[in-house]
A and B are shown apart, each in its own frame.
Chain A
Amino acid sequence: MTVTEVSVSLTIDGQEVDVPAGTSIHKACESAGIDTPTLCWAENLTPVNVCRVCVVEVEGSRALVPSCARPVEDGMVVETDSERVQHSRKMVLEFLGSGIDLSQADDLGRWIDHYGAEPDRYDQPEVPAQKMYEEPKIQDDLYIRDYDKCVLCYKCVEACGDDAQYTFAIAVVGRGFDARIGTEFDVTLPDSACVYCGNCIGVCPTGALQFKTEFDMRNAGEWRPEEQDVTTTVCSFCGVGCNLELHTQDDKIVKVTSPADHSVTHGHLCIKGRFGWTYVQSPTRR
């Protein structure tokens, strides 16, 4: 006897889709060739469904539903491009753009154009729209944290906590619009529980968290991703066998990542894999 996967069939934008039970609506959309904007969702993290940019309309549900977190159900009827969905996605993008610097956010510019979001229409003559004004926190040679680019997607907190690192150096602090990602009493990262694995940076979608190398190069106008090569290799430090992606520009390593779908790392690394590469370029090395 063979064990067969239980399949669920649903309708997305009028199209019949069959997917394994337990699949999220977002993944079902993907299998149907429907592109969905996401921000707080990531392949290697538990969905927190806070950004609400991936919402869809599900028949019988009063409010819209976060597609990243909601599992499909048999007979579900999903609309991903209804007027309500378009409106909510547009407004979420507008809200984000109205207070947060999205200039380095992955992919969001495309969706802002797609939905015709106008983040600038919130400033008023006597009451300018409140923004996430923050000075970048530069406290060591490895990371910077620039929270005026932070969309509070919770990804870094998850990666630091029980989705990857179990270090719990950072948490969401405060409430409402004034909530920020922070350490206890805002102590510097070197004084916190941080172990410098860099996994928070690995999952940050907006450039709020950056490797110091990248931050410095951007400030100097030298960051040119279109000229960068990515070489996959295996970390040389221990026997675990983590895959590394070495991002190089002008034959110099500028950043190290790991593929989110890699069976060993799920995109997460430790301080050695993430930052222990300077020896490769050491002038004293022969």
Chain B
Amino acid sequence: MADIFIGLDLADEVEITAVTAAIGNDPAIVHETERLVIGGGARRHERRHLLLPALHALQNARGWISPGGLNHVCDVLQVPPAEAYGVATFYEMFRVDDPGHGDDVVHVCMDAACQIAANEELIAELEAGGAHVHRSPCLGQCERAPAQFVQGVGGPDRVPADEISVELRIPQQGDSSLRLLKNIGIVDPTSLDSYRAAGGFDALARAVELGPKAVCDAIADSGLSGRGGAAFPTGVKWKAVAAEQGRPKHVVANCDESEPGTFKDRVLMENDPFAVVESLAVAGFATGAENGWIYIRGEYPVATARLQNAVDQCRAAGLLGADAAGSGHAFDVEIRRGAGAYICGEETALFASLEGFRGEPRSKPPFPTTHGLFQEPTAINNPETLLNALDIVLNGADEYRSRGTEQSPGTKLLCLSGRVAKPGVYEIAFGTTLGDVLDLAGGLTGSGELATVLMGGAAGSFVGPDALDMPLTLEDTRERGTTLGSGVMMAFTDEIDMTAICVRISEFFRNESCGQCVPCRVGTVRQHETMVQLQRSGSMTAERRALVDDMARVMVDASICGLGHTAASAINSAIDLGLIEGAP
């Protein structure tokens, strides 16, 4: 007996079976009492977070989310159909109209690294072969551009490039100075025994020896800061969550890596998944959180499978569970897949998405450390940040600070792509110059001279060849008006049409704006229109240039979240550097 209105369309057997397999067969029990509505609210909190897995199951079963399928999920989870539909239509990977075929869909990346790697030719080739192609935002495989991801119907999702050798993904393999990438290519990513033989789970044991307070202190003393772009001090975050008492607490691995040009976390998750799980357990122990969550972008099927395997093996070995690793502390991990939304990498949007709502960011304050997932205290970090914690716990803050600079201690993963000879993930000590990094990646490839490097992804900024001497640290990049962001270094030579690149960046933000706040919802559209006009007419009036600045200012000043704050940054830097013909 439901207290919500559900239409007449029914799910078929395939859909019901898929949903049951994904979220279990545990229909919400509704007691008809005078407190029905209150009961309804509590129930929604309890089970609503299963909405995203259920929608994935429907999408996979039929290739779309049908009215009957949606009704079934709404009935099982007691979610109002309009809200569930609002959630389904939020994500790139879900469709709510019948595609008219039951075939797999090939997503091809449209963003910068693939744009200059003949993605349109790939699309033409695929379409000529009868494939159903979906033009997708960055798929996080920039080192093997043009990138593809195949969304399965009735079968698993897959990535055609996965036959590629590990060697090519980690050009530095075997380098003894590696800290974060040291296991890659050495440890079998599917075997807990292999991970443990290489010292895996020593850090968790050491953390338990030290106790939560000492772990938090070490993280704070190390000067570790978030590696997703905002560079927030990790120790401050963990200590704030540790100080919260009396409510359930969470640690979340933000694996929704979607910044165009970024693929480092994918490489970590695919090749060292046990380290991600161990570091999340360390975070849980240090902050006193019993609930670990991994929210991973939907376009990463290999990483998802390997993480799931790692969690299962760790649980079976007693490293997760009621007495995780013999710590006396309960800790377990659940994995959730995103469904194609750049905005869900923003921490509060990620929480909303995981809870089964539209991935719309929330206003801060209050901050996640007090009001995070389910409005409960939450520490959220990406895999790269988390993996640093293992090193710090094992070797101490002082040893950690022996690399990098005073203000940017440690090492940083960089995602090298574009016109470099050996694209891939590189680990460098903070302070290495941009020029040295490009050399490390084998220098430029193709014809022409270096025109510019995109730093930090679409949300970052372009720098000219005069920045090759720039030490890559938080402080130096800030001083030079750019950013390390998520570690993107995408090289462009002077034969590349930068106007087309910038038009695409503006289109990316237009597509990825969640639409919640006016400055970003409309600003990203007007910015894109301006870029298209510039491309078509070949010039931009001074008046229009002033308007571009006006639009950038309101997005920076008045948007809710970082997407709006950074949506104009790369384009404005390109205009300032004179990379776009016709722009004053």
Contact = CB atoms under 8 A, between A and B. Distances in A.
B260 interface: no
B89 A177 contact: no
A182 B85 contact: yes
A286 interface: no
Contact of B85 (A49, A129, A173): A173
Contact of B559 (A63, A130, A161): A63
A127 B532 contact: yes
In this complex, the interface size class of chain B, counting residues with CB under 8 Å from chain A, is 35 or more
18 contacts: A49-B363, A50-B517, A52-B559, A64-B557, A88-B519, A99-B525, A124-B544, A126-B532, A126-B536, A130-B529, A161-B80, A168-B83, A169-B5, A175-B515, A176-B524, A177-B515, A183-B81, A185-B85
Given A99-B522, A175-B89, A91 B553 contact: yes
B518 A176 contact: no
Given A177-B525, A183-B85, 15 more contacts: A63-B557, A87-B550, A95-B519, A121-B547, A125-B533, A126-B533, A127-B529, A130-B525, A161-B83, A168-B80, A172-B515, A176-B510, A182-B82, A191-B7, A193-B4
Given A126-B533, A127-B533, A171-B86, A184 B81 contact: yes
B469 to A, nearest CB: 29
Given A95-B526, A182-B85, A176 B554 contact: no
A177 B537 CA distance: 25
Contacts, number: 168
B419 interface: no
A150 to B, nearest CB: 12
Nearest to A194: B5
Interface string A165-193: 01111111111111100111101000111
Given A92-B518, A179-B521, A187-B7, A129 B526 contact: yes
A51 B525 CA distance: 16
Contacts of B185: none
Which 6 pairs across A and B sit closest by C-beta, in order of nearness?
Answer: A168-B80, A193-B5, A171-B86, A95-B522, A91-B554, A179-B515
Given A127-B536, A187-B7, A193 B358 contact: no
Interface in B529-580: 529-530, 532-533, 536-537, 544, 547, 550-551, 553-554, 556-560, 565
B518 to A, nearest CB: 5
Contacts of A178: 515
Contacts of A193: 4-5, 80-82
A282 B253 CA distance: 65
Contacts of B559: 52, 63
B300 interface: no
Interface of B is mostly: helix
A63 B512 CA distance: 21
A25 interface: no
B243 interface: no
A176 B41 CA distance: 28
Given A168-B82, A174-B90, A95 B523 contact: yes
Contacts of A172: 86, 358, 515
Interface residues of A, number: 54
Interface string A10-30: 000000000000000000000
B518 A95 contact: yes
Contacts of B4: 168, 193
Contacts of B510: 176-177
Interface string A142-181: 0000000001100000000110001111111111111100
Interface in A91-137: 91-92, 95-96, 98-99, 121-122, 124-127, 129-130
Interface in B23-38: 37
A173 B287 CA distance: 37
Interface string B465-495: 0000000000000000000000000000000
B557 A66 contact: no
A84 interface: yes
B136 interface: no
Interface in A56-105: 63-64, 66, 69-70, 84, 87-88, 91-92, 95-96, 98-99
A96 B363 CA distance: 21
B18 interface: no
Contacts of B526: 95, 98, 122, 129
B547 A169 contact: no
Contact of A176 (B82, B514, B533): B514
Given A49-B560, A50-B517, A98-B526, A192 B85 contact: no
B198 interface: no
B258 to A, nearest CB: 14
B363 A92 contact: no
A53 interface: yes
B516 interface: yes
B70 interface: yes
B158 to A, nearest CB: 26
Contacts of B530: 124, 127
Interface of A is mostly: loop
Interface in B366-393: none
A84 B5 CA distance: 46
A269 interface: no
Contacts of A99: 522, 525
Pick from A84, A98, A171 the residue with the most CB of B within 10 Å: A171
A55 interface: yes
A171 B517 contact: no
A174 B516 CA distance: 11
A69 B364 CA distance: 10
A152 B360 CA distance: 13
A126 B515 CA distance: 25
B84 interface: yes
A92 B85 contact: no
A151 to B, nearest CB: 7
B522 A98 contact: yes
Contacts of A192: 5, 82
B17 interface: no
B96 interface: yes
Interface string B135-146: 000000000000
B82 A170 contact: yes
Pick from B358, B514, B515 the residue with the most CB of A within 10 Å: B515
Contact of A52 (B81, B512, B518): B518
Contacts of A151: 518
A126 B96 CA distance: 33
B20 interface: no
Contact of B516 (A50, A122, A166): A50
Contacts of B525: 99, 130, 176-177
A87 B555 CA distance: 11
A184 B84 contact: yes
A152 B522 CA distance: 11
Pick from B96, B341, B513, B558 the residue with the most CB of A within 10 Å: B558
B67 interface: yes
A166 B248 CA distance: 28
A51 B523 CA distance: 13
A206 to B, nearest CB: 13
B511 interface: yes
A148 to B, nearest CB: 14
Pick from A122, A174, A184, A191 the residue with the most CB of B within 10 Å: A184
B547 A63 contact: no
Given A176-B524, A182-B85, A184-B85, A92 B514 contact: no
A127 B81 CA distance: 37
A63 B561 CA distance: 10
